[in-house]
């Protein structure tokens, strides 16, 4: 039985007194969908359990790292064993070498890798390295792509920045923002145009090869090879931000799936198996410019942390071809189910899917870039979100994020989700316009309808 003093509502009230907005990462506060977030007590497999005693089939999955599901027992055992040997040394360990070798084997464009603590650190550091290597200062990013919260990237950024309506953040110095040039995702002509206009001044083009932070938007045919060719022609480096797509789109990431070799790759999420890890890597000749072999400075007390390395080794060692086939089948089943449910309810919905990550956009589609993604009806998404949450399904609390499947999700989970989505979509199609009326409403949690009830 849940203790009332630990109810989500009470915790959120207390949280708002001690944490800005009650959270440590903005999207979690439910600002875009209204209501208050359930506080999570524990999770196992594909299930989340909140402090109010409700359970949910989880599609946030910690925003991507948990490809093997929540709290795999073997990982717990490995972590407990590692913790007994010490939680941080600030000195080299064999674990870093082992994970580094694994990364190199899975992602051949990475000859050397540097471990950091988050995707944000990885992208910031990769851009510093690209600037040092080229002697140029400008970068090209794509509207709606999100590369963490480094200053240079908070210009027309996706993810929480778009969700909260601040795609270009205050606090970013004008000079920094001016060095970030914005291209259009899936528009192969937009990059050479910028590279010509800023000839000899662009250090790197950074891209999510499968966009995941304006919702999921796969690359159109020829888009990624076009970027490679444009970078080669203009002497700019190509940086793939594979924080989401790395080890998810395929074992070797999107670069393996689409056959395009970047100069630098940024990794996060799955590489840490659910612990805080990021990494960046590429050709030895570039990476060896980093201190201590070279002059480009980047460091971190907890980088290569033994617990994080242990989780990463376990997560990457358990990636198998059958796992990817199963995840892709589940992704297709969920996407088809959502499309059919929307068709039956008469709700315009475009479901973009890339293997085991997908986004249903409330929009007749197609959704191919930031403009078409942000044309989606966010009030409809908010109502749909609550319709699902009430039925024991936990999708991301934003239209502009991916839904993640894991090894722990079953066909039964997916079918149950599709039935819940059908009911939520039928409510949405009611003539009283519930989509709009649900937004921002105080939503009491219904006590009994959990994922396991
Ligand atoms: N930026 C993350 C989604 N793309 C959200 C992270 C979080 O809130 O945990």
Convert the pLDDT of each residue in 266-285 to its tens digit: 999 999 999 999 999 999 99
Percent of the chain with pLDDT over 90: 86
**Enzyme catalytic residues:** 146, 241, 269
Whether 75 has a pLDDT exceeding 80, the answer reads yes
If we measure between CA atoms, which residue out of 195, 217, 207, 180 comes closest to residue 123? 207
Query: Distance between alpha carbon 198 and the CA centroid of its chain, in Å?
Result: 30
Nearest alpha carbon, ligand 1 atom 4: 159
Please give the pLDDT value at position 147: 96
Give me Rg for the CA atoms of the chain: 22
List the beta strands (DSSP E) in 60-190: 112-116, 138-142, 180-183
Nearest alpha carbon, ligand 1 atom 7: 25
Among 19, 23, 31, 160, name the best residue to mutate to test ligand 1's pocket (greatest count of ligand atoms within 8 A of Cβ).
Answer: 160
DSSP 266-328: EE-GGGGTTSS-EEEEE-HHHHTTBTTTSSB----TTTT-HHHHHHHHHHHHT--HHHHHHHH
Q: Which atom of ligand 1 is nearest to the CA of 402?
A: 4
Q: Which atom of ligand 1 is nearest to the CA of 212?
A: 4
Question: How far apart are the CA of 55 and the centre of ligand 1, in A?
Answer: 21
Query: Distance between alpha carbon 20 and the CA centroid of its chain, in Å?
Result: 22
- Please compute the mean of the pLDDT values over residues 2-26 and round it to a whole number: 89
Please give the pLDDT value at position 197: 95
Question: How far apart are the CA of 385 and the centre of ligand 1, in A?
Answer: 17
Convert the pLDDT of each residue in 362-391 to its tens digit: 999 899 999 999 999 999 999 999 999 999
Residue 122 neighbours by CB under 8 Å, 6+ apart? 116, 148, 243, 266, 267, 268, 278, 279, 280
- Please compute the mean of the pLDDT values over residues 20-48 and round it to a whole number: 96
Question: How far apart are the CA of 382 and the centre of ligand 1, in A?
Answer: 17
**Pocket-forming residues, ligand 1, beta carbon under 6 Å:** 25, 27-28, 63, 159-160, 213, 401
Q: Which atom of ligand 1 is nearest to the CA of 159?
A: 4
Among 19, 24, 27, 30, name the best residue to mutate to test ligand 1's pocket (greatest count of ligand atoms within 8 A of Cβ).
Answer: 27
Residue 144, token pair as written in the block:
């709606």
Please give the pLDDT value at position 154: 83
Residue 354 neighbours by CB under 8 Å, 6+ apart? 210, 212, 216, 218, 245, 249, 331
Question: How far apart are the CA of 47 and the centre of ligand 1, in A?
Answer: 19
Residue 171 forms beta bridges with which residues? none
Question: How far apart are the CA of 161 and the centre of ligand 1, in A?
Answer: 10
C-beta of residue 65 within 8 angstroms of C-beta of residue 273: yes
Q: Which atom of ligand 1 is nearest to the CA of 26?
A: 8
Domains of the chain: 4-67+320-428 (3.90.1150.10), 73-317 (3.40.640.10)
Convert the pLDDT of each residue in 106-133 to its tens digit: 999 999 999 999 999 999 999 999 999 9
Nearest alpha carbon, ligand 1 atom 8: 25
Q: How confident is the model at residue 6 (pLDDT cuts 50, 70, 90)?
A: confident
Convert the pLDDT of each residue in 339-356 to its tens digit: 999 999 999 999 999 999
Convert the pLDDT of each residue in 199-221 to its tens digit: 999 999 999 999 999 999 999 99
How far are the Cα atoms of 33, 88, 219, 280, 338 from residue 95, in angstroms, in the given order? Answer: 41, 12, 35, 17, 42
C-beta of residue 236 within 8 angstroms of C-beta of residue 242: no
CA–CA gap between residue 290 and residue 242 (Å, rounded): 20
User: 138-142 and 202-207 as β-strands: parallel, antiparallel, unpaired?
Assistant: parallel
- The pTM score is 0.94
C-beta of residue 211 within 8 angstroms of C-beta of residue 145: yes
C-beta of residue 52 within 8 angstroms of C-beta of residue 38: yes
Among 63, 65, 211, name the best residue to mutate to test ligand 1's pocket (greatest count of ligand atoms within 8 A of Cβ).
Answer: 63
CA–CA gap between residue 236 and residue 130 (Å, rounded): 8
Name the average pLDDT for the chain: 93
Question: How far apart are the CA of 25 and the centre of ligand 1, in A?
Answer: 6
Q: Which atom of ligand 1 is nearest to the CA of 158?
A: 4
Question: How far apart are the CA of 283 and the centre of ligand 1, in A?
Answer: 29
Please give the span between the terminal C-alpha atoms of the chain, in angstroms, as a whole number.
15
């Amino acid at each position: 039985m849940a203790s009332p003093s630990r109810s989500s509502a009470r915790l959120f009230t207390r949280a708002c007194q001690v944490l800005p907005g009650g959270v440590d990462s903005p999207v979690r506060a439910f600002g875009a969908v209204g209501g208050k977030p359930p506080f999570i007590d524990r999770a196992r497999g594909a299930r989340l359990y909140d402090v109010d005693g409700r359970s949910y089939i989880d599609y946030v999955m910690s925003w991507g790292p948990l490809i093997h599901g929540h709290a795999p027992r073997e990982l717990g055992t490995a972590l407990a064993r590692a913790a007994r040997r010490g939680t941080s040394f600030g000195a080299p360990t064999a674990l870093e070498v082992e994970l580094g070798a694994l990364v190199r084997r899975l992602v051949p464009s990475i000859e050397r890798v540097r471990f950091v603590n988050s995707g944000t650190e990885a992208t910031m550091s990769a851009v510093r390295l690209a600037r040092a290597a080229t002697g140029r200062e400008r970068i090209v990013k794509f509207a709606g792509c999100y590369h963490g919260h480094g200053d240079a990237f908070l210009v027309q950024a996706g993810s929480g920045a778009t969700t909260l309506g601040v795609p270009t953040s205050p606090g970013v110095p004008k000079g920094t923002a001016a060095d970030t040039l914005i291209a259009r995702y899936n528009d192969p002509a937009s990059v050479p145009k910028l590279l010509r206009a800023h000839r000899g001044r662009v250090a790197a083009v950074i891209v999510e090869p499968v966009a995941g932070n304006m919702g999921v938007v796969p690359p159109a045919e020829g888009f990624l090879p076009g970027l490679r060719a444009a970078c080669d022609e203009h002497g700019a480096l190509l940086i793939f931000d594979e924080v989401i797509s790395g080890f998810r789109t395929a074992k070797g990431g999107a670069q393996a799936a689409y056959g395009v070799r970047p100069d630098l790759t940024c990794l996060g999420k799955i590489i840490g198996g659910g612990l805080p890890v990021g990494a960046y890597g590429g050709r030895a000749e570039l990476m060896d410019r980093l201190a201590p072999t070279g002059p480009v400075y980047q460091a971190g007390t907890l980088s290569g942390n033994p617990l994080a390395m242990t989780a990463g080794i376990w997560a990457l060692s358990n990636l198998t071809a059958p796992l990817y086939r199963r995840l892709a089948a589940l992704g297709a089943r969920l996407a088809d189910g959502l499309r059919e449910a929307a068709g039956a309810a008469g709700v315009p919905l475009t479901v973009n899917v890339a293997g085991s990550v997908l986004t249903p956009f409330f929009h007749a589609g197609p959704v191919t870039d930031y403009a078409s993604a942000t044309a989606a009806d966010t009030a409809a998404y908010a109502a749909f979100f609550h319709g699902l949450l009430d039925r024991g399904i936990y999708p991301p609390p934003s239209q502009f994020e991916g839904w993640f499947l894991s090894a722990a999700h079953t066909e039964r989970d997916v079918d149950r989700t599709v039935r819940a989505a059908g009911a939520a979509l039928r409510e949405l199609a009611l003539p009283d316009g519930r989509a709009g009326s649900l937004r921002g409403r105080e939503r009491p949690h219904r006590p009994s309808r959990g994922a396991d009830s």
